[in-house]
Amino acid sequence: MPALLRNLIARAPAMDDLDAVTALVMACDAADYGLSDDRREEVHSDWQRPGFNLKTDAWVIVTTSGQFVGYACVWHSEHARIQMFACVHPAYRGRGIGTLLLRLAEARAREQAEQAPPGVRITLDTAVSNVNAAARHLLEWEGYTLARHFWRLVIKMDEVPSKTFEEFYQHGKLKVDLVVDAQNLMGATQLHQRTGMYVARQYDIYEKVLRVGQEFPAPPVGRDLSPDSAPVGRDLSPDSAPVGRDLSPDSAGATV
């Protein structure tokens, strides 16, 4: 059942909402970086992930006039490493939408965690734009801690070097993703000084421990770790007031 906010409605998205959600994600990109790549294919791929249920694993916040101003979704690896993407339209930040999305996502993540193997450590991870201090503040307020840093590097080149890199090569540029633990930063930030390479985007990856236990084997570094190719949150905002327990996915009428 949709949750009624103050002149806003929170509900599950439908496939017909793909273009509206894409436009929202791109607006958030532009707010942080001044530009955005076309994200439609990536959002659509996120919704087609194995085990992903659009009715239970994603949410949109829509104004009474039909504008999409917030979006979030969660997905998991063996129910133990759960990841989240969330964004709030820049014109609607600071109104409680970010808090609502975080708590809806966490509630769903805890449901998914119940199916994780016994004794496995369970975390909810998300990434936030390095330039979005407000989002980092909100995550820390909600109990997340900084775990890793993520750089998307871009190399200018005339042609793709091999078939291995074709998926990452677009319009004379090769995108390379670099993930570094928060405590192992020495030299990492200097990579962009090499000829032809520059940092396109920087992210901080935050995690919240939902259950302590043995570390689940990490997935291989690749496309699914990228904030641009998988839904990890970057555009949350601090909110004017905390949101109570009635904002869980089962709530019939939450307000902020």
Does residue 186 sit within a domain?
Answer: no
Range of the domain at 132: 3-147+203-247
Question: Using an 8 Å Cβ cutoff, are 24 and 87 in contact?
Answer: yes
pLDDT tens column, 192-217: 444 455 556 788 999 999 988 777 66
Does residue 60 sit within a domain?
Answer: yes
Does residue 59 sit within a domain?
Answer: yes
* CA dist 40 → 104, 141, 153, 219, 256 (Å): 23, 31, 21, 25, 30
Q: What 3-state DSSP class applies to 144?
A: coil
Closest CA relative to residue 102, chosen from 141, 55, 64: 141
Does residue 196 sit within a domain?
Answer: no
**In degrees rounded to 5, what are phi and psi of residue 77?**
-120, 110
The domain that holds 10 is classified in CATH as 3.40.630.30
| Joined tokens for residue 223 | 């496309």
Per-residue pLDDT of the chain (256 residues), as tens digits, is: 455 567 899 999 999 999 999 999 999 988 887 777 789 999 999 999 998 999 999 999 999 999 999 999 999 876 667 999 999 999 999 899 999 999 999 999 999 988 878 888 898 999 888 888 999 999 999 999 999 887 776 665 555 555 554 554 454 455 555 555 544 544 444 444 444 555 567 889 999 999 887 776 655 443 343 444 433 334 454 443 333 323 233 322 222 3
* CA dist 98 → 1, 22, 61, 245, 254 (Å): 20, 18, 10, 15, 14
Does residue 20 sit within a domain?
Answer: yes
User: In angstroms, how far is the first alpha carbon of the chain from the final one?
Assistant: 17
The total number of structural domains in the chain stands at 1
Question: Using an 8 Å Cβ cutoff, are 153 and 178 in contact?
Answer: yes
Does residue 152 sit within a domain?
Answer: no
- Report d(CA 69, CA 88) in Å as an integer: 6
Does residue 189 sit within a domain?
Answer: no
- Report d(CA 139, CA 125) in Å as an integer: 10
Does residue 90 sit within a domain?
Answer: yes
**In degrees rounded to 5, what are phi and psi of residue 233?**
-75, 140
Q: Classify the C-alpha dihedral 171-34-124-6 as positive or negative.
A: negative
**In degrees rounded to 5, what are phi and psi of residue 198?**
-145, 160
Question: Using an 8 Å Cβ cutoff, are 99 and 139 in contact?
Answer: no
**In degrees rounded to 5, what are phi and psi of residue 170?**
-145, 125
